[in-house]
Amino acid sequence: MEKLAPAIAPPPDIGTARTQNRAVLDWVQSVARLTQPENIFWCDGSQGENEFLLSEAERQGSVIKLNQERVPRSYLHRSNPNDVARVEQFTFICTPTKEEAGPTNNWSAPAEMYQKLHRLLAGAMRGRTMFVIPYMMGPPDSPLAKIGFEITDSIYVVLSMRIMSRMGEGAVKRLGESTSAEWNRGVHSLLDVNPERRFICHFPQDNAIISVGSGYGGNVLLSKKCLALRIGSYLARKQGWLAEHMLILGVESPEGKKHYVAAAFPSACGKTNFAMLIPPRHFAGWKVTTVGDDIAWMQIRDGRLWAVNPENGYFGVVPGTSYKSNPNAMRAISHDTIYTNVALTDDGDAWWEGKDGNPPPHAIDWRGDDWTPQSKDKAAHPNSRFATPQRNNPVLDSDFDNGAGVPISAIIFGGRRSDTMPLVFQAFDWEHGTYIGSTMASETTAAATGVVGQVRRDPMAMLPFCGYNIGDYFRHWLATGKRLSNPPLIFHVNWFRKGADGRFLWPGFGENMRVLKWIIDRAEGHGGGAETPIGFIPRPEDFDLDELGVSRDTMRELFAIKPEEWQRELEGHAKFFESLGGVVPDELHKQREKLADRLAQH
Ligand code: OXD
Ligand code: MN
């Protein structure tokens, strides 16, 4: 449970490394005047500081040290049961006009929201410690790298930000002392962890974020969804680059030819698994490496898109992670990891549904209650998470820290769809690809509060993360395509199609390599494909099925384009565009008409 712990008393050499930047110092003082903490702790990201904070967190009961033989240097945190996922209904984009936030965001006028938040923050840290976290997003020598400062009263946030971002000295040095430098101001307070006082607010024009009333990662690790995506997407449009909810992976052939692809899937649809894929035996000599598992920042150079991962760690969904589904993630989270809301076994190990082996006969569940395999509730929360440094990943790409980024050969959209969407298809061109991204949909998961399993449109997987008007975002995509002389090819995948018996048709996981291989073949210009009304799909001879054990009939089902399903899909697109109230660019309406014509002629 989230503890509202009293102030900590660090030794004199810890928590004192202040930046000399006057703008930051003044801002910190103004937040301190408002929240009135007992003391201010300046984080430097050092090992000594981390060890001190871990021992404090353990002493306060905000983390539990796990069995050090099984999971060295790893800890368990439990958030409040009312606070286990991102809260899109309490997430706001605060811009001078409602139109700037657009039809997909909650909006509030900045002055009004500041007033409300300042009222909530007044005296909120009394008797407690206020931590100041300097951090950098992006490789240090990337022109896209951004500096942020997050103020928080949660020690769990500090410990997690050290994993998720490049935190400490480096950020302070990079910002320097110029008071006009660009940096993000983030304020987080747990308040009393009350859903009625939970607001995640973004002020793009001020490069500022205020998050109150939550202790759950996606709401409070301000580097991630708030800065790298919501503020990031706003800055990206202004500055002519792309900030996307995409993994980045490298795929290398036995001959040493390497491509990078970026893929946007909605939350909890397997981005981390795909980014760490292990090719099946049949693909001996092929290697997949991870640049990032959640966010891509991409800029144009030499007519191509080049991507960096702004993050420094992975905040992944735990349940379902196993040596079968993702051996690389299992290795990564076997040490130096903070788990949130998993179960605790009697011998101090972390446990979750879907972990290898048998369930333990007894455990303490994510709420802190006794649990046995007979219990009707799950031991780990479905949205329980790991935070683990990317350096733990055995297949981390050698260019993960390269500021120049990696060149992107293909962009993949995808979602969780029981029907309609074939295993893979390729867009005819960038504009058609933008249409596919803008209309993509997925069945909802536990990553956000709300009903699970409903199909919702989630353009480019950015519905909860686009920090400005979605119509302008679509325009930015279209305009970006025009600036690319060598654009990535665009694809759509669906690992989740089901047969009439309700079972998944495709084995997924490592076998997704077969889809990736076709994508790479297409990017190299030698892969065949058949033209259909929705795009290109592989013909049987283009798609490697050796040693797969999936029948030709099942493959036909996986690639079936069923007129009645596509009629429904088209109506879904039209309804979605209509719901956006006139902001959708003409090019995309025209793409829909063209798709309707092609389907009618089919
Ligand atoms: C995440 C999400 O945590 O997308 O990455 O919800
Ligand atoms: Mn995500």
Name, in order, each residue with C-beta under 8 angstroms of 117's C-beta and a sequence gap of 6 or more: 199, 201, 210, 212
Q: Are residues 179 and 304 in the same domain?
A: no
Do both 307 and 178 map to the same domain? Answer: no
Same domain, yes or no: 420 and 529: yes
465 lines ligand 1 (CB under 6 A): no
Residue nearest to atom 4 of ligand 1 (CA): 267
pLDDT of residue 453: 79
pLDDT for 1: 65
160 shares its domain with 121:
yes
Residue 573 located in a structural domain: no
User: CA 23, CA 19: separation in Å to the nearest integer?
Assistant: 10
- Structurally, the chain folds into a number of domains equal to 2
| CATH number for the domain harbouring residue 451 | 3.90.228.20
Indicate whether 228 and 252 sit together in one domain. Answer: no
Locus of tokens 């997050």: 150
For the chain, the first-to-last Cα distance in angstroms comes to 57
What is the mean pLDDT of each successive set of 10 residues along the chain, which is 602 residues long?
85 93 98 98 97 97 97 97 94 98 98 98 98 98 97 98 97 96 97 97 98 97 98 98 98 97 93 97 96 98 98 97 96 98 98 98 98 98 97 98 98 96 98 98 82 89 98 98 98 96 95 97 95 97 91 95 96 98 97 98 88
Asked, for residue 158, whether it belongs to a domain, the answer is yes
In a domain, 302, yes or no: yes
Within a domain: 8: no
- For residue 202, give the CATH number of its domain: 3.40.449.10
Ligand index nearest the alpha carbon of residue 216: 1
Give the structural domain span for 450: 244-313+397-561
Q: Are residues 105 and 206 in the same domain?
A: yes
Domain-ending residue, one of 212, 239, 266: 239
Q: Is the CB of 294 under 6 A from ligand 1?
A: yes
In a domain, 31, yes or no: yes
Beta strands (DSSP E) in 309-459 are: 313-317, 338-340, 343-345, 350-351, 363-364, 370-371, 385-389, 406-414, 424-426, 441-443, 455-457
Q: Which of these is catalytic: 94, 226, 269, 466?
A: 269
The answer to whether residue 75 sits within a structural domain is no
Which residue type is seen at 406?
V
Cα-based torsion angle of the residue sequence 552, 557, 562, 564 in order, rounded to the nearest 10 degrees: 150
Residue 274 domain flag: yes
- The model's pLDDT over 331-340, given as tens digits with 9 standing for 90+, comes to 999 999 999 9
For residues 64 and 77, what is the distance between their CA atoms, to the nearest angstrom?
A: 6
The verdict on the CB of residue 311 being under 6 Å from ligand 1 is no
Tokens of 96: 């001078």
Last residue of a domain, one of 221, 239, 257: 239
Could you report the per-residue pLDDT of 166-179, keeping only the tens digit for each?
Answer: 999 999 999 999 99
Indicate if 269 belongs to the active site: yes
Residues 231 and 281 in one domain: no
Domain end call among 206, 223, 239: 239
Instruction: List the one residue out of 104, 106, 107 whose CA is nearest residue 457.
Output: 104
Beta pairing, strands 75-77 & 64-65 = antiparallel
Q: Residue 55: inside a domain, yes or no?
A: yes
Q: How far is CA 154 from the centre of its chain?
A: 21
CB of 501 within 8 A of CB of 265? no
Show Cβ contacts of residue 226 under 8 Å, excluding neighbours closer than 6 positions. Answer: 186, 200, 202, 209, 211
267 lines ligand 1 (CB under 6 A): yes
Residues 432 and 543 in one domain: yes
Residue 156 sits in the same domain as residue 210: yes
Per-residue pLDDT, 319: 96
Q: In terms of domains, do 217 and 249 share one?
A: no
Q: Quote the CA–CA distance of 148 and 137 in Å, as a whole number.
A: 8
Helix H or strand E segment including 158: helix 155-164
pLDDT at residue 358, as a whole number: 97
8 Å CB contact between 500 and 522: no
Give the chain's largest Cα–Cα span: 76
Q: 190 with 168, same domain?
A: yes
If asked whether residues 159 and 221 sit together in one domain, one would say yes
Give one DSSP letter per residue of 217-251, joined into a string.
HHHH-TIIIIIIIIIHHHHHHHHT-EEES-EEEEE
Instruction: Name 110's Cβ contacts closer than 8 Å, sequence gap at least 6.
Output: 94, 95, 96, 203, 205, 206
Using the mean position of ligand 1's atoms as its centre, give its distance from the Cα of residue 598 in Å: 35
